[in-house]
Amino acid sequence: YLPCHVSTHPRSRTNMAVTVAQFLSLAFVCALTPLALGEVYFKETFDDDWADRWVQSSNKQESGEAGSLLLSAGEFYGDAEADRGLQTSEDAKFYSYSSKIETPFAIDDKDLILQFSVKHEQNIDCGGGYIKLMGGDTNQESFDGDSQYNIMFGPDICGSSTKRVHVIFRHGDENYLIKDTIRCETDRLTHVYTLILHPDSTYEVRIDGEKKKDGSLYDDWEFELPKEIDDPEASKPDDWVNDAMIDDPEDVKPDDWDKETEQIEDPDAEMPDDWDQEFDGDWEAPMLPNPKYKGAFRAKRIENPDYVGVWEHPQAPNPDYVHVENVGKYPSNAYVAFELWQVKSGTIFDNIIVTDSIEEAEAFMEETFGKSKDAEKEMFDKAEEDKREKDKIEREAREAEREAAKEAEKEDEADTEVDDDGDDDDADANADDASDADADDASDDDVPDEEEPAVDEDDEDADDDAASPDDDEPVAHEEL
């Protein structure tokens, strides 16, 4: 469309030429500029300046129970730079962080979409992974678990009993949790959680773009008392037949039904030849199941001709019912916040968007999660494969060490046995030597002593005289 009329005047033709040039230039610029699909109230992808936009509350700071969020892409990712998010970094800590929405907005006559990604790469055992949308009266410096919020949304895992997506709306001073359980993702990869709230009080919950639950806020939350209750004036008639099936009165138990017993003696069993009744007692044959035994008699079942169906309590209007207006409507939404507690840290939060356009949220998810999920999964699988291979090598090494220890123990036992045998042999040898020695002594005792030659007494006296000096002659010192 050209905002001018066609004219043959030279200036008009010149003006038209300029206008056409401007139009083409504008069209070119528009082609390069992404078309806004709706209003985006808040968007966060977390960069190096994230701490300038997020405030850590003083909650649990004095007691030392407050944990810190750090910028990280984690152990596996699609893009090391683009996939950075805020990661819980300390076990068994409370995390209280909030960021201000630049222009607070109201939830009334437009859609609200709250979307963010969560990666429990630590294989979380117990802890929250949810986000909160908070009102304008929030004090960022001191907000905690008791601070009022408008919406709380996201996964919560604790043990095997709690693995659900929380969808909690505040109404008045009460927080209302969805009645049905929406199961959350429990693996270690990134997943995108999306809450869509429509102006007609209907909703939808998606995980990774797939619808998991939808319905009405009035049906799936207990904002109101039921419109109808059991009629207090009505009761089930005394003659109401409750049984749809009955025993066939024509089916009677036969007279010989109980003739056979449940067990019988083994007809092939015989008393052992070495059975001594005096010491062993009376011999009894082992019992076997009786193949002819029919069991307890049960008549055939037939439809009850008097049954008219299950009695349903008549309903009556609930006198206490009051319609609750403005469910899911919040005039002030001014902050996005994390307020959680985790036993095992490591969860990464990323790519938050708050908008009134489903298409805007879908495009943002495709731009972030869609680009990274396959590469992240590939990196995760490779890391798991490497871990399994490492564990296998370590396991085989430990097994080899155990086998080597067993072999060494066997060798030690064998050496001990050899030493014991050697000692016995030495003892036997010593015993043999001792026996031989005794035998030699015994032989010596048996051989008669040789007779000594006789000595003459006079010769003895002569020797004594020769050997002894005279008593009166002095003895030289040397001689002494």
Per-residue confidence (pLDDT) for residue 459, from 0 to 100: 47
Q: Bin 328: left if φ > 0, else alpha if -120 < ψ < 50, else beta.
A: left
Average of pLDDT values for 65-73?
97
> Please, which residues have CB within 8 angstroms of residue 226's CB and are 6 or more apart in sequence?
318, 321
Q: Is the pLDDT of residue 1 over 80?
A: no
Of the ranges 4-13, 324-333, 352-361, which one carries the lowest mean pLDDT score?
4-13
Q: Which fold has domain 40-225+327-384?
A: Jelly Rolls (2.60.120)
What's the rounded Cα separation, in Å, for the pair 99 and 52? Answer: 9
The neighbour count for residue 167, using CB atoms within 10 Å, is: 24
Q: Which residue in the block uniquely carries the two structure tokens 């138990």? A: 253
Question: What are 238-247's pLDDT values in tens digits?
Answer: 999 999 999 9
Give the CA angle between residues 462, 466, 472 to the nearest 5°: 115
Instruction: Give the pairing of strands 126-128 and 112-120.
Output: unpaired
Question: What are 265-286's pLDDT values in tens digits?
Answer: 999 999 998 998 888 899 999 9
Secondary structure letter of residue 255 according to DSSP: T
Average of pLDDT values for 347-376?
97
What's the rounded Cα separation, in Å, for the pair 431 and 418? Answer: 20
Residue 279 is inside which H or E element, if any?
helix 277-280
Question: What are 409-425's pLDDT values in tens digits?
Answer: 888 888 787 766 655 55
Q: Is the pLDDT of residue 58 over 80?
A: yes
Average of pLDDT values for 202-219?
97
Per-residue confidence (pLDDT) for residue 327, from 0 to 100: 95
At 463 the three-state DSSP class reads: helix
Q: Is the pLDDT of residue 122 over 50?
A: yes
Residue 428 is inside which H or E element, if any?
helix 358-446
Which alpha helices (H) appear in 216-354, and where do they start and end?
A: 217-220, 277-280
Give strand pairing partners of 166.
154
What's the rounded Cα separation, in Å, for the pair 101 and 132? Answer: 12
At 115 the three-state DSSP class reads: strand
Alpha-carbon Rg for the chain, nearest whole angstrom, is 51
What's the rounded Cα separation, in Å, for the pair 263 and 292? Answer: 9
Per-residue confidence (pLDDT) for residue 419, from 0 to 100: 67
Average of pLDDT values for 57-84?
96
Terminus-to-terminus CA distance in the chain, angstroms? 161
What's the rounded Cα separation, in Å, for the pair 169 and 152? Answer: 7
What's the rounded Cα separation, in Å, for the pair 344 and 271? Answer: 68
Give strand pairing partners of 206.
194, 211
What's the rounded Cα separation, in Å, for the pair 176 and 86? Answer: 28
At 438, is the pLDDT very low, low, confident or very high (cuts 50, 70, 90)?
Answer: low
Per-residue confidence (pLDDT) for residue 460, from 0 to 100: 46
Per-residue confidence (pLDDT) for residue 455, from 0 to 100: 46
Give the CA angle between residues 316, 318, 324 to the nearest 5°: 140
What's the rounded Cα separation, in Å, for the pair 262 and 288? Answer: 9
Per-residue confidence (pLDDT) for residue 410, from 0 to 100: 86
> Please, which residues have CB within 8 angstroms of residue 246's CB and are 6 or more apart in sequence?
301, 302, 303, 304
Domains in the chain: boundaries: 40-225+327-384
Q: Which residue in the block uniquely carries the two structure tokens 């051989």? A: 447
At 472, is the pLDDT very low, low, confident or very high (cuts 50, 70, 90)?
Answer: very low
Quote the mean pLDDT of the chain: 85
Q: Is the pLDDT of residue 119 over 80?
A: yes
Q: Is the pLDDT of residue 100 over 60?
A: yes
Total residues belonging to the chain: 480
Q: Is the pLDDT of residue 214 over 60?
A: yes
Give strand pairing partners of 190.
119
What's the rounded Cα separation, in Å, for the pair 131 and 192? Answer: 12
Give strand pairing partners of 88.
69
At 358, is the pLDDT very low, low, confident or very high (cuts 50, 70, 90)?
Answer: very high
Instruction: Give the pairing of strands 202-207 and 112-120.
Output: unpaired
Average of pLDDT values for 184-210?
97
Which one, of 96, 102, 115, lies nearest residue 154 by Cα?
115
Q: Is the pLDDT of residue 7 over 70?
A: no
- Sign of torsion, CA 296 299 303 308? negative
Q: Are 159 and 172 in contact (CB under 8 A)?
A: no
Per-residue confidence (pLDDT) for residue 409, from 0 to 100: 87
> Please, which residues have CB within 8 angstroms of residue 78's CB and are 6 or more apart in sequence?
371, 372, 373, 374, 375, 376, 379
Give strand pairing partners of 183.
164
Q: Where are the beta strands (DSSP E) in 318-416?
A: 330-342, 347-355
Report residue 72 CA to chain centroid gap: 22
Of the ranges 152-161, 193-202, 282-291, 413-422, which one carries the lowest mean pLDDT score?
413-422
